[in-house]
Amino acid sequence: MGTETKFNCYSENSSTDGCIPKVVKSSSDLAQKLSSNGIDNGKTTQVNGSTKLVVPFVPIFIEENNVIDGAKELLTAIRPQWNLNDVDFKKFTDGITNKLVGCFYNPPKNGTSTNGKCTINSSHHSTSTTNEYEHIHNDGNDSGNLSESDIESETRNTDSKSSNNVVLVRVYGNKTDLLIDRKAETQNIILLHSYGMAPSLYATFKNGLAYDYVPGVTLDTSSVLRPEIWKLVAHHLAAMHRVVKPQSDNCDKNNHMPMLWKKTQSFFDLVPEKFTDADKHKRLEGTFLPISRLRAEFAELYKHLESLGSPLVFAHNDLLLGNVVYTESRNTVNFIDYEYADYNFQAFDIGNHFAEFAGVDEVDYSRYPKREFQLEWLRVYLQAYLKKKHVTDDEVHRLYVQVNQFSLAAHFFWTIWCLIQAEHSKLDFDYVGYAYVRYNEYLARKDKFLALNINSTS
């Protein structure tokens, strides 16, 4: 489906039932409506005796080359009480993928309004929000994750604990809707926020989101190995897998097709038989083209994985290191970027996370976690997931086999993703080269991992 079709999905839904964004005719209408109803953005309200989360839809389109002015227009709707002269705007990226703007409300203590200022910062290194390689197979998305020092410095004249003084505006990149269902993304954020696992969603607009920040720093190839951190990750993922359940009857996990199959098939459909760039096409011929050969190979792999009996859970499905936020002061981790969240195999979510230990900026698969580390990680995970202190060695081994075999599917999944990006993305990144990296790792591990036996711990 094209980008415009996805945008229409928002404008056609005018009810808040089922957590669909509410549509208003104009920014002024929205501000008046929110004020008259006493509703704060991202909060709940009573509708027909039941509690609903109201997420306003603002019918504006923010141009990628004019995101600051677009953010100002959005704020007049969702933060009408803010004086724009007292808002500092920080542009955290300046690429051709998703754009992230931080809006920091700093009202003067002396009652004298300041001049609002705009800061362009495309090389900010405190978190992954500006390092696009950390989200390279996440559409170059900007997580909205700012470090606590960033928030403190930008909100120095306000109560730093008030998240209402910070609004993050994310503008979608060109043609990212080919890969991501934006309506589903919005619903995922709303769902996970209800479980305390995602930031508040303040509003949606035609080509983006406005939401709360997540304080902390994203993981890297070193921090992900620290026991005080990886145990938090294992616990948080187990909690997500165990408790999160979409409220819609259409999302019954017993009748829901796993994301791994349906999304990979949709990706296959998007890979062209002939690439526009002749050089790219030549590099892809033989190994990846014609795509029918890879379709058959994946179908065979999937049939085997399906037989392993991995539970179907609501999964993140893209738990790369840049999507895990560690907040040291609170001793917590949070996950960000829920574009691919959906029901899927438990073992895929973990196997994909383990595969991401290699990093993306400088991929090194010698960092893939060793068996001893995995067994310890998986035991902690199972204790939380099964809610029991004593987990048997057989239970841990079973999950170990499932996870490593499903990690093969993760390599396959992102390989096909790369082929689509190679055709459509304008980002200065060698997607063809990265496709080879992921596919070669799949081939290198395939025989060893598929030889693992659930019934044998040797």
Residue 196 and residue 224 in one domain = no
- 162 & 233 share domain: no
Q: What is the pLDDT of residue 112?
A: 61
| pTM for this entry | 0.77
- Whether 455 is in a domain gets the answer no
Lowest mean pLDDT among 193-197, 356-360, 371-375: 193-197
User: DSSP 3-state assignment of 219?
Assistant: coil
> Per DSSP, which regions of 92-160 are E strands?
99-105, 118-120
Q: Pick 193 or 155 by higher pLDDT.
A: 193
For 3-12, 222-231, 258-267, 333-342, which range has the lowest pLDDT when averaged over its residues?
3-12
Q: Same structural domain for residues 246 and 292?
A: yes
pLDDT at 54: 73
CB 362 within 8 A of CB 376: no
55-80: pLDDT as tens digits: 899 999 998 889 999 999 999 999 99
DSSP one-letter string for 407-433: HHHHHHHHHHHHHHHHHH--SSS-HHH
Is 166 in contact with 104 (CB distance < 8 Å)?
yes
**Same-domain status, 236 and 294:** yes
**Is 229 found in the same domain as 178?**
no
The verdict on 154 and 285 lying in the same domain is no
Q: Between β-strands 166-171 and 208-211, what pairing exists: parallel, antiparallel or unpaired? A: antiparallel
- Using alpha carbons only, what angle is made at residue 375 by residues 374 and 378, rounded to the nearest 5 degrees? 80
d(CA 451, CA 275): 36
Looking at residues 142-171, what average pLDDT do you find?
A: 56
Per-chain mean pLDDT for the chain: 79
The last residue of one of the domains, among 216, 247, 264, is: 216
The domain of 373 spans 219-450
Q: Which residue, 182, 216, 250, sits at the end of a domain?
A: 216
Burial of 250 from C-beta contacts in 10 A (0-12 / 13-18 / 19+): exposed
- The domain that contains 259 carries what CATH number? 3.90.1200.10
Whether 229 and 199 map to the same domain: the answer is no
The dihedral of CA 384, 390, 395, 397: what is its sign? positive
Residue among 191, 192, 133, 142 at smallest CA distance from 171? 142
According to the per-residue pLDDT averaged within each range, which of 59-63, 159-163, 296-300, 361-365 is highest?
296-300
pLDDT of 118 > 50? The answer is yes
Angle at 444 between CA 441 and CA 450, to 5 degrees: 110
* Total domain count, the chain: 2
Residue 458 is assigned to a structural domain of this protein: no
Residue ending a domain, among 155, 190, 216, is: 216
239 plus 384 within the same structural domain:
yes
Structure tokens at 374: 């995995």
